Structure 1
Amino acid sequence: MSNDPQTNAASAEPGDPEYMEATRMSFGDHLEELRIRLILSLIGVVAGAVLGLIFAKSLMSLLCQPLIAVLMRHHLPSQLVSLSPASTFSVYMKLGLLSGLILAMPWVLVQIWQFVASGLYPKEQRFVQRFLPVSIGLFALGVGFVYWIVLPIVLNFFVTFNESFAVEFEGLTGIQRLLIGDPHVTGDDDAANPDSTAPNPLNIPILPQDPPAPKHGDTWLNLETGRLCVRVGGETLTTQLSPGSGDGRISSQFSVDFYTSFVLMLMLAFGLAFQLPIAVFFLVWAGLVTTEQLGRSRKIIILVIFIIAAVLTPPDVVSQILLAIPMWGLFEAGLIFAKRWKAVR
């Protein structure tokens, strides 16, 4: 028998001990492969971060679209708040780094799978090569699911919830009037008692959209956005009008730092969680578990899914449910796929 590992590997069958010995990597080879994959992953993340920093403003505009749509729907100021002088700059850096990580995640997944494949046999490597595009597609699907489905639902829920906590002002009590005075008494009889029969020259047109070519001094109310607009020179000044008097109203104003972190972490969490079907199929394919065992343990697995969703998402129940339910469905999809593969095997 030849002592050449390649000759032995070529003549042996995949299940033979000689084949397994000939194709086995040493511990040093595994460390070298790990080093190479880490370097390549880091290069991808750095490249993604550079792109993220270059296009940070465009990315910020893209991330804010769901929030702006919800705020406009509730006739609230469609703007974010910077709570410190350096807050926006720190958000710029964070946006570049986190968005770079998300952009580079498909490349990082390639490196992870390639490292795993280096320690597998050819049959197992074919599995990795076959499911690598699926893994990247599922990650992209998770990110898109957050942007188009989760964010509108979560943001609309919390803005509506905040508005439901509006406190009605019942007027000053006698003691309050004595201590702080009556803010409605100005000392001017004409101002305190206006003539209700006097003509009101202010007549603001209500338009479904902004006029195409407003002139200097034009004033109008945009019915779609709820904004009062005044044309001054070459620009339009606006202010957001809100329903009600505003007394005791809880206005939903989000800081730019919190919102960007919230969105990017959700995208990363959903992208990783959407890898569940591949994980389920791999466990069955590798013989670590059977489909029958997974089916019998369904209740425990669902509980674990909800726990994982609570860990991956921000501390609110809505985001946790919106992640747990798709993960449950993805688990069932992976289980069905594994059963069909086992049936035709």
Structure 2
Amino acid sequence: MSLRDHLLELRKRLILAAVGLIIGTVVGWFLYTPVYEALQAPVIDLAERDDALVTVNFGGLASALDMQFKVAIILGAIISSPWWLYQLWAFVAPGMRQVERRYTIGFMGVAVPLFFTGVAMAWLVIPQAVSILVGFTPEGAANVLDAQMYLTFAMRLILAFGLAFVFPVLMVALTWAKIVPARVWLKGWRWAVLIIALAAAIMTPTPDAVTMMLLATPMTILYFVAIGVGFARERQRARKRPALDDDAEAETSL
């Protein structure tokens, strides 16, 4: 494909992904109340456990409406993730052979569960993060959490965890499309581990190392698994190439 064709394909996939995001956002709008109640639950439980004034507060007249829009958009990204993950694969797939494009089901079968695994891990981290951060409140003082900051933090954390778990699948796709060889990923493993650790520290804003390791460890393992899958595919492709060359020579001689 020419550069122009790649750009047209990219525009097409972005438009389709945006349509899916809009539909997911509409669904997310109606799911806002139960999601908000679930995210507020750790705060309420903490207040009851410590008999302290800890609550989520909407500071402005339009804050609640604005927050519902923001949460609905992030929920839309999570709900529509199978759709935009497919668009991502479909953009990479033209660089592959026809037989390799048949692995679409395999890509989706791995990427989607990994994304939701990351979402589930973030959901488990949020109560611990709230407990640790609120625990720094001095005795006798109140902790009134700004709804905008708290809900934005929680939803971005959930989305970030999901994307972090999908990245290794993207690595495999780029290797299979011959865009980034597996040896390049392996050569940069030290930088990758450092970036993973920094990303885990940023995405888990709690002072304890355990929470950070809960994210960094599986991300690191998945990174090396992706490299292994990439090398296996390259070796398989190398074994098939001599046979293809022999067939081409035979046809030429005829």
Shorter-normalised TM range: 0.7 to 0.9
Judged with a 3 Å threshold, the aligned counterparts in structure 2 of structure 1 residues 320 and 70 are, in CA distance, closer, same or farther, namely same
1:115 to 87, 91, 110: 91
Contact 2:56 2:146 in 1 (8 A): yes
2:219 to 318, 323, 327: 327
Kindly state the Cα deviation for residue 322 of structure 1 after the two structures are TM-superposed. 4.6
Q: Which structure is larger by alpha-carbon Rg, 1 or 2?
A: 1
1:49 to 7, 10, 25: 25
Judged with a 3 Å threshold, the aligned counterparts in structure 2 of structure 1 residues 322 and 158 are, in CA distance, closer, same or farther, namely farther
| Identity %, equivalent residues | 31
| 1:105 is the counterpart of 2:75 | no
Match in the other structure for 1:35: 11
Instruction: Return 5+ residue gaps in structure 2 as ranges.
Output: 240-254
* Cα distance between partner residues in 2 of 1:133 and 1:26: 30
1:259 to 138, 150, 159: 150
| 1:304 is the counterpart of 2:195 | yes
Deviations 1:176-197 (A, max 9, x none): xxxxxxxxxxxxxxxxxxxxxx
* Cα distance between partner residues in 2 of 1:300 and 1:27: 30
Contact 2:133 2:206 in 1 (8 A): no
Kindly state the Cα deviation for residue 76 of structure 1 after the two structures are TM-superposed. 3.0
Aligned 1:145-294 pairs, distance under 5 A: 145-148=121-124, 150-160=125-135, 162-163=136-137, 165-166=138-139, 246=140, 249=141, 251-282=142-173, 285=176, 288-290=180-182
Deviations 1:185-223 (A, max 9, x none): xxxxxxxxxxxxxxxxxxxxxxxxxxxxxxxxxxxxxxx
Aligned length: 234
| 1:88 is the counterpart of 2:35 | no
- Higher helix residue share: 2
SS of 2:143's partner is coil
Contact 1:305 1:327 in 2 (8 A): yes
Contact 2:129 2:206 in 1 (8 A): no
Match in the other structure for 2:106: 130
Kindly state the Cα deviation for residue 139 of structure 1 after the two structures are TM-superposed. 0.8
Kindly state the Cα deviation for residue 303 of structure 1 after the two structures are TM-superposed. 0.8
* Cα distance between partner residues in 2 of 1:34 and 1:283: 15
Q: What's the C-alpha RMSD, in Å, of the aligned pairs?
A: 3.0
* Cα distance between partner residues in 2 of 1:328 and 1:92: 34
* Cα distance between partner residues in 1 of 2:20 and 2:31: 16
Deviations 1:61-103 (A, max 9, x none): 1222333333333333463112222221211221222222222
Scaled by the length of structure 1, the TM-score of the pair is 0.58
